Structure 1
Amino acid sequence: MAIVILALSSQAQAVDREATVCGVIKERFCFWQWSRMAPSPDPARVAGLEHVEVTTFVTGDNKRLAGYRYAAYDNLSEKGKPRGYVLMAMGNAMVADMMIQHLGDFAAAGFDTYVFDYRGYGNSQGRRRINAIIEDYKEIVAALNERYPSARLYGTSLGGAVMMNVIGSGVDFDRAVIDASPSRFSPFGCPRRIDPVEHLPDDASRLLVITGQQDSVLNAGMTRELRVEAEKRGATVIDGESYDHPFMDRSEVHRERMERIERFLLAELL
C-alpha cells in the first residue's frame, strides 16, 4: 500500500523555493557534487521488510517527494494507534531506502517512522536547493503534526541543519536529535538566516546534539559551536570520542550511538 501525504493548503504558496541562496554557481555545483555521492534508489533494499510502505509527500509547489514509512507495529496507544511519529532528515549522500531499514526500533516503540528523498535526489522531483529542502521539511512536519499526537525529529549531517531550520520556524515537536550538523553555512556564502546555530531555541532541553571527535566529513571547527551553544541553553550533548560521521562508525560504535539516540527520543517510554 502506498501512502500519499499532501502539504497543508495554508502552506501551498506559489513561491520560488528553488531559488539559489548560497550563490548561483556554488550552490548548484555543491548539490550536483553531493548528489553524485548518493547511490541510486533500489527497492530491493527494503524488499521483504515487514511494516515498511512506500510513501509520497506532495509539497506546496507540487513536487512529489518519494519516501518510506515504517509503520508502528508494537507498543501502540490504548486506542491501538501509533503514539506519534519519527521523521528523519538524512545526510546528503543518502537515499530513503538505505535509511528506513535502520529505523525499525522506532516502529517497534509505537511510532510511525518516515524518511524521504530530498527533492532532486533518488525518486523525488524538483531541483536540489537548500532553501527548497528546508521549506519541504517545514511542510512535512506541519502535515504530520496534523495526523499524530507526538513529534520526534532526527536529523543527520545536512539533515541536522535542515531540522534546526525547521525547529527555528516554530513548529511543535516533543524531542529532536541533531547528529553531526554544521554550525553555520554563512562562511560558505549562504545567508546567516539559514545557519543552524541561529535557530537554537532559548530552551533547548528537548534537543540532543551529537558531534564526533573522529568525524571524517565535518571537522570540529564546523560542528563545535552548535554543540557548545546548545549545551548553554540546556540541551543534552555528546561529543563522542570514537564517533565518526553518522552511519560511518564501526559496527559496535554505530550500535551504541543509535541506542543513545533511541533512548533520548523515546525517553519517557522506556
Structure 2
Amino acid sequence: MSFASEREETVCGWLKERFMFAMWSAAAPSPDRARVADNPLITSVQFRTADNRLLHGYRYKAQTLPGETTRGYILMALGNAMIADQMISQLQPFSERGYDAFIYDYRGYGRSEGKRRIKAFIQDYIEIIAFLNTQYERHLLYGVSLGGAVIANVLGQGTQFDRAVIDSSPSRFSPYGCPDWLDPVNNIPDNAADIMVITGSMDTVLGPEMTTELRDVAVQKGATGFNGSDYNHPFMDSHSSVHSQRMNLIVNFLDNRH
C-alpha cells in the first residue's frame, strides 16, 4: 500500500513543483460533462489508486460489428493544460478501429482527487495500465507533452505494453531542478521497437531544442522517430489536414501488429 503523503511528495523542488503545476492546471478548462453528453459511446469511468485517491475519466467505447470483440484498449496521458472531458472526443479514430479508448484526469485536475505531483502521476498510470492489462488482450499507450513524459517513465519501470506513442514530450526535466531519473530520455527501454516518438518542427510550446534528444535516443534504441515539418504542439496544428495526418500516423502505428 502506498500512502498519499509518500506518493504526493515533490521531487522537483518543494516550491517549484507546486508553483509550476498550479500555473499549468490554471490553464486547463473547468470540467463540463456537457462536452460529452451527446455522445452515447462516451461514458464516465473511475479508478481508485493504491493511496485511495479517486481519479475520474472517460471511456470512448469501441465501435465493433455484431459478433466482433473489442480489439484492446488505448490509454491517453494528457498534456498539462488538458482535462478528460475536453479531450476524449479526440480519440474517436481509436474507437473506429475497434479499441476502447480511455482518458483520466490527473490527480488534482478536473474532478480527480489528490495533489498535482509528477511522481504521483507516474505511479497512478502504472496502476491504471496494470488494471487495464487484465481486462484487454492488446495494450496501447499514447502520451502527449507532459503525458509523453509520464508514459516514458512508465515504460522505464518495465510496465507491460504492446505499442506506445510519445508525442512532443520534453527530453529532460533535470535542467529545471528535477532528478535525472525523471528525464524521459533516461527511461526509453533498450529495445524500443514498439515505440514511436513524434516531434514537431513548428512546435511553439516545446521547441525542437527541448524534444529532439528524446526522439534521437529512442531511434538509436530501435524506435520509430518522426519529425513533422509542419507539426505544432499536439492538437494545436494550424490546419485540420495536418492534424488528421498526424492522428492517422499515430493510429496506424499503434494498430500495427507487425
Gaps of 5+ in 1: 1-11
Match of 1:4 in 2: none
TM-score scaled by structure 1? Answer: 0.92
CA root-mean-square deviation:
1.3
Aligned length: 256
How far did 1:75 drift?
5.6
Deviations 1:124-182, CA, capped at 9 Å, x for gaps:
00000000111100110011111111100000000000000011111111100000000
Q: Distance in 2 between matches of 1:266 and 1:96?
A: 22
Give how far 1:81 is off. Answer: 2.9
* 1:71 matched to 2:84: no
Q: Structure 2: give runs of 5+ residues left out of the alignment.
A: none
**Is the counterpart of residue 125 in structure 1 residue 113 in structure 2?**
yes
Find 2:39's aligned residue among 31, 49, 52.
Answer: 49
**Paired residue for 2:253?**
264
Equivalent-residue separation in structure 2 for 1:254 and 1:44 (angstroms): 24
Tell me, yes or no, if the aligned pair for 1:75 and 1:108 is still in contact at 8 Å.
no
Pairwise CA distance, 1:220: 1.3
* Match status 1:27 vs 2:41: no
Please say if residues 75 and 109 of structure 1, whose CA atoms lie closer than 8 Å, have aligned partners that are also in contact: no
Question: Hey, what does 1:105 align to over in structure 2?
Answer: 93
Distance 2:119 2:87 in 1: 23
Instruction: Map residues 189-204 of structure 1 onto 2, 5 A cutoff.
Output: 189-204=177-192
**Paired residue for 1:91?**
79
Percent of aligned positions with the same letter in both sequences? Answer: 54
**Conserved 8 A contact 1:156-1:181:** yes
**Hey, what's the Cα distance between the residues in 2 that align with 1:87 and 1:168?**
17
Q: CA–CA distance in 2 between the matches of 1:103 and 1:69?
A: 9
Which residue of 2 is the match for residue 81 of structure 1? 69
The letter of the residue matching 2:60 is Y
Write out the 4+ residue segments of structure 1 that deviate beyond 2 Å after TM superposition.
Answer: 12-15
| Partner residue, 2:244 | 255
For residues 36 and 164 of structure 2, what CA distance do their matches in structure 1 show? 25
Aligned mates of 1:13, 1:117 — CA distance in 2: 20
- 8 Å CA contact 1:179–1:211 kept in 2: the answer is yes
What is the distance in 2 between the residues matched to 1:130 and 1:143?
A: 20
Separation (CA, whole Å) in 2 of partners of 1:230 and 1:90: 21
| 1:38 counterpart (28, 40, 44) | 28
